[in-house]
Amino acid sequence: MHGKSVVIEHKTFMDTFTSTHPLRWRPKDFIADIPTPTTENEMYATLPGVLNKWGLCPGYTFVATPRETDDADPTNQAVDCGMYKIGFSPQAIDETCVALDWSRVELSIECKTGQDPFDANAADNEPTAEKRKRALGRILSIAELVFQYQQRTCHFMILFLGDFARIVRFDRSTIFATAKFNYKTETKKLAEFLWRYSHSSPAQRGHDPTATRVERGDELWRTMMAKKGAKDGANPDYVQKLFDDSLDETWPWWQLEVPIAPPPEKRTTRMRCTRKFLVGKPHFLASGVTGRGTRGYVALPLDNSGRPCERFVYLKDAWRLDHKVVEKEGDILYELNQAKAEFVPTLVCHGDLSGSEQTTDWQSLWKEHHPMADESECPLKRHQHYRLVVQQVGKPLADFGPGSDDLVFAIGCVLQAHAAAYHLGIIHRDISEGNILLWKDTDGEWYGLLNDWELSKRTNVQYRDGEQPDRTGTWQFMSAHVLDDETRRIILPDELESVFHVLLNLAVRFLPTTLRDQDVGQFLHDYFDGCSHHSTGVRCGLAKRGAMESGMISLKSYNGQLDPNKKLRLGFDPSERLLPLPSAAIVGRQATPLPAEAPAEPAASPVLGSTTSTALLQDHPPSVSDNAPAEPPQEKPTSHKRIHPLNDIIDELLKWFQAYYALEDLETDTEKNTNKKNTKDLSKSTRFQRLRSKTVSNSTHASTAADQAGSQPSATTTRPTTKTATSIQELRTLASNLMSHDPFINLVLDSLEQLEWPENDKGKDKKPKGGVVVPKDQVSAISESLTSSKKREIDDVDARKERVRKRRKTNLRVQGQAS
């Protein structure tokens, strides 16, 4: 959101964003008789009556809705006042309250006694005071809800600030606000806006002309209701349920038009066709006002005669980044489908929506108000409204199960899809949990589906500086290298690392590990959300980078130094049933049959480089004969008895990443050493020779003392040497596994074929719903304990609290004497 606010003159705002319909009469003393409000309640108590009285907006009415929110709105947000079409205004709940209807509000009005959310004197027009920041967040949340409930290209708001006002316009790129004016002395500015706004076309007012609302009881509404709970078998049960859930009557339903863009090789045709789809409540909603604003729907397609088709499809509505190096997602899917790439969505239709209101192109307007700024400094991006329809309706990857083998199998599908695209010169660039779906094919089996290709790029195109948009992707799953360098070009190892992060995220959340359940939320925050701040921005967090560089995921920060579980391991109870080793094909690959008299130690895996099954079953309690002496009962250990097969996959991948990062560091160090200039040899200086002689003398005395004590002399301290050629070659061998997809794919396939997997080891999601919040009192307590110079016993909690209480009491007494 930073840098997207622009304050412009009132006339420029009116000429750019409203109709030219002139105000033919000038209302005298319009709204001037409203007393200066001391509270927000006083403003919206009288404002609607005054606005309705003057009749500046024929066909509309103003309604105050300051207290009650829509029951369908889980955020409990409300706007103080709104303008509605007559006949669609919200109804009163009682004598004092009117329910807000986000799906019908035409123009929102927010009243503040102060706390201006814009600062015209700031370079970015954004406030720095906390109360004013909260005011900005407040109006953004209102605009966000309007965008979610309606099919909008933009939304207007009147912001009252005591005796002053601003008119604000939100779209997917920018927030434009007029300069603040006194509405009592400059009544024409407010009156002219209301008049011209109400006489603007629906498209000028921000309504999407390609979306038609489905009203309760009309023919389209009956068509949608007829498909609710259908038992015709045309759709899988989970897809039918998703559509049924979308028929939520607290949300508006729509008929959406989607262009049928011709294939890239036939783009010269001028014929333009569209298809129509019926949708209810969105299945997915992206948060925020500016940006892509992606929404996903389980949609009911209509044929050319308006009759519903049997199978549901998935419709994606987004404001794609319109950049010359970014291709349309539908064109990428068309190419993948033509190449018969598996485990990617199948394109139905797609295209940009036509009309000037369907684009956000305000760079020139920004430049007018920042004449001294360079064009590259403009934070505003051109967005194009775009819709895409695919055949597959998936469900989240987090719904895998009942066993972890289903998760690993889905990851294998994703790797195959990514490899097929990479072979065609396409790299995805946004691998995340949300962009991997589970999809049931016609054979009744579940497969992984690599979705959301809108940020993909060509691997064989060299982009010049400034041609690539800002670093994009999903922070939690980006590689450490990409997070550390926003200008880095994403390459295959970065993508494979993102796949690893997805696998790790879901394993920690749903599978039993050596990490305590109550610490999972903090671990997820540290590893996936964490970042390191620097003077100009943020980079990768320490936990993720540490795992890549060390080749292990340390749990010392969570389990403690004395806990035996110092690194992350997965496990499962020995009583858990095991899945039989597969004898059929997995992802099109025949499993190697095991001999009938399978030895205790299986053959080594060419990918893992070691034996597998026996290593995985370590910590199994040995069998005890009946004649063996009984051992005293022991407390049940907290660690898991059986080592999980997923550990081998994680360990092997971490070896590859560790080697890859180590090699890059070596290359960087070598380059630095090669480019050294103006260096001096300190060893020839007199003071260095003097220091060296003292060191040798002290070493001799230490050796003599050691000989007299009858022990070996201590080894002299040696400087760390550079890696040998052999070790570097070993690193290169390990890192080479990230230069293609095959090693990762084979690692997954070999694990699924050769290892014993638990049948039902998926548990409940351990990720906290509200995220991780460290209480302020906990922060102060930690800070106090770190600054204390006294040693404290870990278990002496009561004594520690008493000392803290006495210290605070003493500090208060000292402060009182000082004052």
- CA pair distance 62, 82, nearest whole angstrom: 6
Measuring CA to CA, which residue among 179, 157, 178, 185 is closest to residue 34?
A: 185
CA dihedral 146, 151, 155, 160 (to 10 degrees): -30
Structure tokens at 304: 């050319």
| 3-state secondary structure string across 533-545 | EECCEEEECHHHH
174 assigned to some structural domain: yes
- Of 393, 412, 437, which marks where a domain is finished? 393
CATH classification at residue 753 = 1.10.510
Domain range for 312 is 209-393
- CA pair distance 777, 440, nearest whole angstrom: 49
616 assigned to some structural domain: no
One domain, residues 114 and 177: yes
Angle made by CA atoms 512, 515, 519, in degrees to the nearest 5: 115
What is the predicted pLDDT for the residue at 56? 86
- CA pair distance 707, 713, nearest whole angstrom: 7
> Which parts of the chain register pLDDT below 70?
1-2, 23-30, 32-33, 37, 67-76, 92-97, 267-271, 463-471, 572-642, 668-680, 682-684, 694-723, 725, 773-819
- CA pair distance 48, 57, nearest whole angstrom: 12
Measuring CA to CA, which residue among 148, 143, 147, 178 is closest to residue 164?
A: 178
54 assigned to some structural domain: yes
CATH classification at residue 30 = 3.90.1570
720 assigned to some structural domain: no
Structure tokens at 115: 């706390």
* Residues pairing with 258 in the sheet: 275
Report CA 436 to chain centroid distance, whole Å.
Answer: 13
- CA pair distance 80, 12, nearest whole angstrom: 27
Residue 788 Ramachandran class (φ > 0 left, ψ -120 to 50 alpha, else beta) = beta
What is the predicted pLDDT for the residue at 362? 82
Give me the phi and psi of 396, to 5 degrees please. Answer: -60, 150
One domain, residues 228 and 272: yes
One domain, residues 589 and 453: yes
What is the predicted pLDDT for the residue at 311? 95
32 assigned to some structural domain: yes
- Residue 526 DSSP symbol: I
One domain, residues 567 and 456: yes
- CA pair distance 245, 142, nearest whole angstrom: 25
- CA pair distance 279, 298, nearest whole angstrom: 7
- Residue 420 DSSP symbol: H
- CA pair distance 171, 158, nearest whole angstrom: 15
Helix axes 492-510, 646-674, angle to 10 degrees: 140
What is the predicted pLDDT for the residue at 177? 95
One domain, residues 234 and 193: no
Cis peptide before 27 (omega within 30 of 0): no
One domain, residues 91 and 131: yes
Provide the whole-model pTM.
0.81
**Strand blocks (E) in 583-701:** 642-643
One domain, residues 574 and 482: yes
Residue 55 Ramachandran class (φ > 0 left, ψ -120 to 50 alpha, else beta) = left
Tell whether the torsion through CA atoms of 15, 107, 298 and 209 is positive or negative. negative
- Count of all residues that appear for the chain in the document: 819
Reported as a single tens digit per residue, the pLDDT across 493-552 is: 999 999 999 999 999 999 999 999 999 999 999 999 999 988 878 999 999 999 999 999
**Strand blocks (E) in 399-461:** 426-427, 436-440, 446-450, 457-458
One domain, residues 147 and 263: no
- Of 338, 358, 393, which marks where a domain is finished? 393
Contacts with 303 (C-beta within 8 Å, 6 or more apart), sequence order: 309
One domain, residues 754 and 742: yes
Contacts with 43 (C-beta within 8 Å, 6 or more apart), sequence order: 34, 37, 80, 111, 113, 160
142 assigned to some structural domain: yes
Contact predicate 98/70, CB 8 Å: no
- Residue 528 DSSP symbol: I
What is the predicted pLDDT for the residue at 357? 92
What is the predicted pLDDT for the residue at 99? 75
630 assigned to some structural domain: no
- Of 374, 393, 412, which marks where a domain is finished? 393
One domain, residues 230 and 163: no
Angle made by CA atoms 477, 462, 459, in degrees to the nearest 5: 50
568 assigned to some structural domain: yes
Domain count for the chain: 4
One domain, residues 311 and 233: yes
Report CA 744 to chain centroid distance, whole Å.
Answer: 25
One domain, residues 316 and 179: no
